[in-house]
Every structure is written in structure tokens, then in C-alpha cells.
């Protein structure tokens, strides 16, 4: 038998990372050549944004937690770098694997690249073309310093080629987030149970909405317009809205809590993965600015309106159920109306969003390392 030779340090930091890392850690655990080490940066720290996901996804407790917490982009990124370096120094012959586009992704990739440690980026090559999004900066920079890049959709390789990245380093693996969806769909929590836990009665039919991007929630006037718009939709099709802590804080600071009336607009706290999955699966329509939800609704065949002007995930629009509607209430209402009347556009699930992306990734890693 071949001795296990190399440690793959899998970095997670923020809520959307856990669903991406879980199937990779599992596939690495089954590998004869590689072993996983899980490092949590602590970018997200509330139990609702964090431990709950580890439990639900059957993830092992992290081998190290850097406990960086919140801060400005500079402070958060720098703290992750400072605290990650000694962890990396202690690992024997490591490889660093980062997922997605959060501050923890670029921070750990940069520490590793400068030390000559191989960097693997999962979910590489996605581009919104919008450099005002902090995630876009994280994507471009992480890809530039990665040794191996795994993409979720075919268009991503074109973006990487345009930025001068050698396509010999790029592998089309499919979508690890959908691995987690496929594995957990039978365990999704019924919406009635989720709403009852919040003291609310589940409407017969409902839409689900999430907002957390700074462009949608940081300006009180924009936030108010969007909440009023969701309430208008909610008068016909009640809107269930799990709130990111950042959004909750902005609503409270702007005195907009009165818009969350428990009938047209039903606010919940941050939800666990299995509750979100149940809410998405059973909704008629999703309205969101989240990248993950654009992909998950495409995989589930639920119509999705994305309240942004661009998406880094064009496969969800080209093949899936997603439509970009920006943040103009008139346009959002018209698109929602159209879905309520016609059922929305029929989509198909993009190539390799099939539940086996992590196996493909670990297969390549085993060959390469
Ligand atoms: C981060 C990611 C974003 C991702 C999102 C998912 C970056 C640049 N952004 O944004 O891409 O879509 O996670 O949630 O990395 N907070 C809490 N508890 C927590 C975490 C955060 O209350 O556990 C509050 C704090 O007030 C914090 C704010 O949320 O300042 C923002 O958190 P932060 O991690 O900086 O960015 P997100 O908006 O969550």
C-alpha cells in the first residue's frame, strides 16, 4: 500500500465555504495518497453562520481555528494571513486548497504562494466583470497565484485564458456546492417546521428572498426600496426572508424593521443548510443577491431573480433558471409577476453539476501530487 504522503490544507472561513469544502474533505479522507487538514479562519463566527453547518454537513471539527472575526477588508485579510502563516509552517509538505472568493480565500492563497506551497483554487475563473465587488478582486488575484484551478462551468476557462493563465493548469471539475445539495436533498427540513420554529405559520405557497451584498443593503434608501418591493410581491405570494446578520443590522439601523410584518414579508434569522434547502426546494420563486443561491436554484429547477446587474455565474442564466433583474423595483416586480403567472423559465442543470465534482478534483490531485 502507498503511504499517505501529503497533507491538503482545506481552508474555510465564511458560510458559503462549508458546503464547498465538505465533499472535498470527504473525498480526501477516502484517498490513499492524500490527507485533509481543515483550517477555519473564523471570518464567520456566529454559531448560526458556522457550527450549525459543520454539524449538518457532517464535517469534522477544524484542526485549527484562526478566530479572526470581523473587520475592514484590510484588517480581516491581514489577520488571516498573519495567523495562517504559522499553521502552514507547522505542516509537513502541505498543499493549500482554497474555495470560492471570500477574504479568507485570497489571504491563505497569498501566504502559501509566497512560500512556494502549491495552491489549489476550487471555483476558479468566475468573473462578474465588476471590480467594485470585493469578491471579484479576490477571484482575479487568487487565480493568478494558483497552481491548479478547478472550474465549475465551461465559460470560466475563457476568463482564465484571457488573463494569461495557462490552461494546462485548469480542470473543468463541476460544482462541489451541488455535490452537497445532491447528497443532502433527502434530508432537507420542511419549511413548515422552519417557520414554526420562528413562531410563524407557513403560507401555502411562498417565495424565498435573501439579500446581503453591500450594494443592496448598505445604503438605507436602496435597502428600503428593495424591502418595499419584496413586500409588494409578498402581498400576492408571501416572501420568506432569512436575514444575514449584516442585513439585520442595516435594517435595524435604518429603522426599517416595520416592513417585516410576518405576513407579506416573513423574516427569519440566518438558517442552517438543511432548512435553506427545504425553503428553496418548496418555493415558487427565489429573489437573491447570493452566488450560491443562483446555483442551487438552477440545480433545483426553481426560478430565480438575481437582484444584481451582473453575475459571475453565467451558466445559471444561459442554461439554468436564473434571470438578472438589477435593483429597480419596477423591473423586479414585472419579472416576479411573469413568474407567478407563467411559472418562469424552464432551465436545465449545467454539465457536471452532478454530485461528483469533489471526486473529480481529488482524482486530479492524486495524479498531480
Ligand atoms: C462574506 C463574503 C461574501 C459572502 C458572504 C456570505 C467577503 C469579501 N465577503 O460577506 O462573499 O457572500 O460572506 O455570508 O469575504 N457578521 C456577524 N456574524 C458572523 C459574520 C459576520 O454578525 O458570523 C456580521 C458582522 O457585522 C460583519 C458583517 O456581518 O461585519 C459582514 O461580515 P463579513 O465576513 O465581513 O462579510 P459578509 O458580508 O458576511
In this prediction, residue 368 carries a pLDDT of 95
Q: What's the grid cell of residue 151?
A: 472550474
Q: Spell out the long-range contacts of 70-73 with Cβ–Cβ below 8 A and sequence spacing 24 or more.
A: 70/43, 70/45, 73/103, 73/134
Residues 6+ apart with CB under 8 A from 307: 211, 216, 226, 287, 288, 289, 325, 326, 327, 332
Kindly state if the Cβ of 215 falls inside 6 Å of ligand 1. Answer: no
Answer whether 21's CB lies under 8 Å from 12's CB: yes
Residues 6+ apart with CB under 8 A from 161: 167
Measured in Å, residue 246 CA sits from the centre of ligand 1 at 7
Kindly state if the Cβ of 137 falls inside 6 Å of ligand 1. Answer: no
In this prediction, residue 5 carries a pLDDT of 81
Ligand 1 probe mutation, 11, 12, 13, 14, most atoms within 8 A of CB: 14
Answer whether 91's CB lies under 8 Å from 37's CB: yes
| Domain with residues 6-174+353-368, CATH architecture | 3-Layer(aba) Sandwich (3.40)
Measured in Å, residue 338 CA sits from the centre of ligand 1 at 33
Kindly state if the Cβ of 43 falls inside 6 Å of ligand 1. Answer: yes
In this prediction, residue 18 carries a pLDDT of 97
Residue-by-residue pLDDT tens, the chain, 369 positions = 455 689 999 999 999 999 999 999 999 999 999 999 999 999 999 999 999 999 999 999 999 999 999 999 999 999 999 999 999 999 999 999 999 999 999 999 999 999 999 999 999 999 999 999 999 999 999 999 999 999 999 999 999 999 999 999 999 999 999 999 999 999 999 999 999 999 999 999 999 999 999 999 999 999 999 999 999 999 999 999 999 999 999 999 999 999 999 999 999 999 999 999 999 999 999 999 999 999 999 999 999 999 999 999 999 999 999 999 999 999 999 999 999 999 998 899 999 999 999 999 999 999 999
Residues 6+ apart with CB under 8 A from 342: none
In this chain, the answer to whether the domains covering 6-174+353-368 and 186-342 adopt an identical fold is yes
Answer whether 343's CB lies under 8 Å from 303's CB: yes
DSSP H or E stretch at residue 208: strand 207-210
Q: Which of 275, 359, 345 is nearest to 316 (CA)?
A: 345
Rounded Cα distance, 350 and 301, in Å? 11
Ligand 1 probe mutation, 218, 245, 270, most atoms within 8 A of CB: 245
| Domain with residues 186-342, CATH architecture | 3-Layer(aba) Sandwich (3.40)
Atom of ligand 1 nearest to the CA of 100: 11
Measured in Å, residue 13 CA sits from the centre of ligand 1 at 10
Average model confidence (pLDDT) for the chain?
Answer: 97
What is the reported pTM? 0.96
Answer whether 225's CB lies under 8 Å from 329's CB: yes
SS3 170: strand
In this prediction, residue 2 carries a pLDDT of 52
Atom of ligand 1 nearest to the CA of 214: 38
Rounded Cα distance, 67 and 80, in Å? 9
Instruction: Strand 285-288: give its sheet, edge to edge.
Output: 265-268, 239-242, 207-210, 285-288, 304-306, 322-324
Where in the sequence numbering do the catalytic residues fall? 212
Rounded Cα distance, 240 and 327, in Å? 19
**What residue segments make up the domains of the chain, in order of their start?**
6-174+353-368, 186-342
Atom of ligand 1 nearest to the CA of 245: 22
Atom of ligand 1 nearest to the CA of 249: 26
Residues 6+ apart with CB under 8 A from 186: none
The full DSSP string for 5-29 is -EEEEEEE-SHHHHHHHHHHHHHHH
What radius of gyration do the chain's Cα atoms show? 20
- Helix spans in the chain (H): 15-29, 51-57, 73-90, 103-114, 134-144, 155-162, 176-184, 191-197, 214-217, 220-236, 245-253, 273-281, 291-300, 315-318, 329-342, 357-368
Rounded Cα distance, 143 and 139, in Å? 6
In this prediction, residue 4 carries a pLDDT of 60
Amino acid at each position: 500500500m502507498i503511504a499517505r504522503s501529503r497533507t491538503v490544507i482545506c481552508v474555510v472561513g465564511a458560510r458559503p465555504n462549508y458546503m464547498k469544502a465538505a465533499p472535498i474533505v470527504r473525498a480526501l479522507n477516502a484517498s490513499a495518497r492524500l490527507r485533509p487538514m481543515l483550517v477555519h479562519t473564523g471570518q464567520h463566527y456566529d454559531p448560526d453562520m458556522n457550527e450549525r453547518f459543520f454539524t449538518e454537513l457532517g464535517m469534522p471539527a477544524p484542526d485549527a481555528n484562526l478566530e479572526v472575526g470581523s473587520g475592514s477588508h484590510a484588517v480581516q485579510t491581514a489577520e488571516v494571513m498573519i495567523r495562517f502563516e504559522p499553521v502552514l509552517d507547522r505542516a509537513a509538505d502541505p498543499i493549500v486548497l482554497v474555495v470560492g472568493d471570500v477574504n479568507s480565500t485570497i489571504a491563505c492563497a497569498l501566504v502559501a504562494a509566497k512560500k512556494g506551497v502549491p495552491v489549489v483554487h476550487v471555483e476558479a475563473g468566475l468573473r462578474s466583470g465588476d471590480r467594485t465587488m470585493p469578491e471579484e478582486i479576490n477571484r482575479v488575484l487568487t487565480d493568478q497565484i494558483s497552481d491548479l484551478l478547478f472550474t465549475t462551468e465551461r465559460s470560466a476557462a475563457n476568463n482564465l485564458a484571457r488573463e494569461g493563465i495557462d490552461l494546462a493548469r485548469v480542470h473543468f471539475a463541476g460544482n462541489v456546492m451541488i455535490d452537497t445539495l445532491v447528497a443532502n436533498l433527502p434530508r432537507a427540513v420542511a419549511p413548515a417546521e422552519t417557520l414554526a420554529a420562528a413562531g410563524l405559520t407557513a403560507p401555502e405557497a411562498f417565495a424565498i428572498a435573501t439579500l446581503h451584498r453591500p450594494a443592496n443593503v448598505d445604503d438605507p434608501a436602496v435597502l428600503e426600496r428593495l424591502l418595499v418591493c419584496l413586500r409588494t410581491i409578498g402581498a400576492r405570494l408571501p416572501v420568506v426572508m432569512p436575514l444575514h446578520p449584516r442585513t439585520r443590522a442595516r435594517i435595524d439601523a435604518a429603522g426599517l424593521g416595520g416592513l417585516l410584518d410576518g405576513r407579506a414579508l416573513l423574516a427569519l434569522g440566518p438558517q442552517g443548510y438543511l432548512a435553506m434547502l427545504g425553503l428553496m426546494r418548496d418555493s415558487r420563486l427565489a429573489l437573491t443577491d447570493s452566488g450560491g443561491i443562483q446555483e442551487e436554484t438552477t440545480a433545483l429547477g426553481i426560478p430565480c431573480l438575481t437582484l444584481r446587474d451582473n453575475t459571475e455565474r453565467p451558466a445559471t442564466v444561459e442554461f439554468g433558471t436564473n434571470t438578472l433583474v438589477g435593483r429597480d423595483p419596477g423591473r423586479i416586480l414585472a419579472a416576479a409577476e411573469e413568474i407567478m403567472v407563467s411559472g418562469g423559465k424552464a432551465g436545465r442543470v449545467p454539465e457536471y453539476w452532478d454530485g461528483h465534482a469533489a471526486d473529480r478534483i481529488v482524482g486530479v490531485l492524486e495524479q498531480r501530487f
